[in-house]
Chains A and B, each alone.
Chain A
Amino acid sequence: MPLDLLLRFVIGGTVVSLFAIVGDAVRPKSFAGIFGAAPSVALATLALTIHTDGASYAAIEARSMIVGAVAMLGYAWMSSRAMWQQRASVTMVSLVGLLPWLALALLGWFLVLR
Chain B
Amino acid sequence: MSWSALADTSWYQYALRFVLGGLVTVGTGLVAEHFGPVVGGLFLAFPAIFPATATLIDARERRKKEKQGLKGDARGLQAAALDAAGAVLGAIGLMCFAGFVWKALPRVSAVMVLCGAALLWLIVSISLWWLRKHHWL
Which residues in A have their C-beta under 8 angstroms from that of B25? 8-9, 11-13, 15-16, 41, 44-45, 48
A34, A67, A81: the one within 8 Å of B87 (CB): A34
Q: Which residue of A lies closest to B21 (CB)?
A: A16
B69 within 8 Å of A (CB atoms) = no
Known: A17-B18, A34-B125, A69-B94. A58 touches B101 (CB 8 A): yes
A residues contacting B by CB (< 8 A) are: 5, 8-17, 19-21, 23-50, 53, 55-73, 75-77, 79-81, 83-84, 86, 89-91, 93-95, 97-98, 101, 105-106, 108-109, 113-114
New contact pairs (17) apart from A30-B129, A60-B41, CB-CB < 8 Å = A11-B25, A29-B79, A30-B133, A31-B126, A36-B50, A36-B87, A37-B91, A45-B29, A55-B106, A61-B38, A62-B41, A62-B44, A65-B44, A69-B95, A72-B45, A72-B91, A72-B94
> B22 near A45 (CB under 8 angstroms)?
no
Whole-angstrom distance between the Cβ of A95 and the nearest chain B Cβ: 5
In the complex, how many residues of chain B place their beta carbon closer than 8 angstroms to a beta carbon of chain A?
A: 80
- A58 to B, closest residue via Cβ: B105
A61 lies within 8 A of B95 (CB): no
Q: Give the residues in chain A near B74, CB-CB below 8 Å.
A: 86
A68 touches B46 (CB 8 A): yes
